[in-house]
Structure 1
Amino acid sequence: MERVPCVYMLASGRNGTLYIGVTSNLIKRVSEHRQEAMDGFTKRYGIHDLVWYEVHETMETAISREKQLKKWDRRAKLRLIEQHNREWRDLWSDLTSPSMDTGPRHSLPG
């Protein structure tokens, strides 16, 4: 898969603990979180559900957006998730299934 800059949010469950990250390979990175391949925040708090992501043209804009989102208060982050994923579905299957058709914020080229 080609490198695609993305900002993403994981959650431990609906309205649970949130994690915001940035990557150029969303499938690989989320898989690492899900498999608890690395020690850290997401492993410690059981944060595995991909609840939101946003594709960017460049890594620079993705990093800038990640920093912006990390400054937001919790209510604003919850609103952003619910604007695009009202049910708090784990979007992992959307990423890994051959028919990704869930809208512009939830699809990767390729």
Structure 2
Amino acid sequence: MELHYVYILTNKNHTVLYVGRSKQPKIRIKQHKNNSLKTFTGRYNVDKLVYFETTKYVNNSIKRERQIKKWNREWKENLINDMNPDWKDLSDLL
């Protein structure tokens, strides 16, 4: 069974938070890291994986992504701090 990932990316200065989801996170994060300036993540250099969670079902990942996207910044930061207090790039863990 494939896992589905919900993740949060940020930029070098942690000024931007981007929430996404993927069932192929290694490929998706690599795409973010190689993004062109035409995309949101490319324009703001958002390529540092600071949070992720998994679920077995795609519907759950969609629901969770939408939920986190609606959250205010403080809630997102708390989620990140609980898993990754130093805000290290976690892309090697995938």
Q: TM-score normalised to the size of structure 1?
A: 0.79
Q: Deviations over 1:6-36 (max 9, x none)?
A: 1000000353201000111100000000111
Contact persistence 2:68–2:76 (CA under 8 A): yes
Question: Which deviates more from structure 2 when the two are superposed, residues 25-34 or residues 36-45?
Answer: 36-45
Correspondence for 1:100: none
**Structure 1 residues 1-80: aligned runs within 5 Å:** 3-13=2-12, 15-36=14-35, 39-80=38-79
- Aligned in 2, Cα 1:25/1:86: closer, same or farther, shift over 3 Å? same
Contact persistence 1:15–1:78 (CA under 8 A): no
The alignment's C-alpha RMSD in Å is 1.6
Task: Write the distance in 1 (CA, Å) between the matches of 2:37 and 2:5.
Answer: 20
Query: What 5-or-longer segments of structure 1 have no aligned partner?
Result: 96-110
Task: Write the distance in 1 (CA, Å) between the matches of 2:24 and 2:48.
Answer: 16
Report the 3-state secondary structure (helix = DSSP H, G, I; strand = E; otherwise coil) of the residue aligned with 2:15.
coil
Q: Which structure's residues are more often strand, by fraction?
A: 2
Question: Which deviates more from structure 2 when the two are superposed, residues 28-37 or residues 11-20?
Answer: 11-20
Report the 3-state secondary structure (helix = DSSP H, G, I; strand = E; otherwise coil) of the residue aligned with 1:53.
strand
Partner amino acid, structure 1, of 2:65: E
Question: Which deviates more from structure 2 when the two are superposed, residues 34-43 or residues 83-92?
Answer: 34-43
Task: Write the distance in 2 (CA, Å) between the matches of 1:59 and 1:43.
Answer: 26
Task: Write the distance in 1 (CA, Å) between the matches of 2:48 and 2:92.
Answer: 10
